[in-house]
Structure 1
Amino acid sequence: MIANLIEEGKNLESEAKESGFGVSKFFDSVSFEKWVAKSILYLETYQSKSIITEKAKSQYKTLNNNTNYSYYKFLLGSLEASKEVEDYKKELEEKQADEFTF
């Protein structure tokens, strides 16, 4: 599931709109809101005690068009980091299982 959220997040980049002066970007779509909701639900389910999850939830409460692109980058980066950690844990578990196989 996390790989799908990362892919979906990367695809959202094309929906980012430029502000009036082209200085910053923002999202104004249901797709963005849906991705954010699914991402937070994922983090709450699988990383519930993480400070990253708490930060994601806290920043979500103050999200607006001026801050949502920055939040997008934070959330996408957090998902990518979570996946790397999960992949590493899985790799270690597989190595340990191989070591104990007779």
Structure 2
Amino acid sequence: MLEELIKQGEGLMPELKKGMAGHYFDSVNFETWVAKSVLYLETTHKESIVTEKIKTNYKSLNGNGTYAFYRLLLGSLKAMADSGANQAAITKESE
């Protein structure tokens, strides 16, 4: 699921729009990806400070801040995937 969310997030780049105040997303696909990602993080990393930061930013999300939030969310998902892969490698080595 995590890898799928990362792929979906990366696939949103063609939908990025440029406005007077900077770049932003304005699509159902973006909103769907954000909702799925936040729900995933709430389920799998509920106590994480990263999840809390994302939830705080999500609550105050508006049209002008969507690109910054996109970078935060996608970067966080990638970091979690990397740390999960590293943890799996450490576990396998210790067996």
For the aligned residue pairs, the C-alpha RMSD in angstroms reads 0.9
Q: Which runs of 5+ in 1 are unaligned?
A: 98-102
SS of 2:11's partner is helix
What TM-score comes out, normalization by structure 2 length? 0.95
Deviations 1:7-57 (CA, angstroms, capped at 9, x unpaired): 11001011011104xx61111111000000111111111111111100111
Matched to 2:55, the amino acid is K
From 21, 26, 29, the equivalent of 1:28 is: 26
- Which residue is equivalent to 2:49? 51
Structure label with greater radius of gyration: 1
What TM-score comes out, normalization by structure 1 length? 0.89
Spell out structure 1 runs of 4+ moving beyond 6 A.
none
- Are 2:19 and 1:19 aligned? yes
- Which residue is equivalent to 2:5? 5
Identity of aligned residues (%): 44
Give the structure with the higher percent helix. 2
Q: Distance in 2 between matches of 1:73 and 1:24?
A: 14
- Which residue is equivalent to 1:100? none
Alignment size in residue pairs: 95
Q: Distance in 1 between matches of 2:39 and 2:84?
A: 17
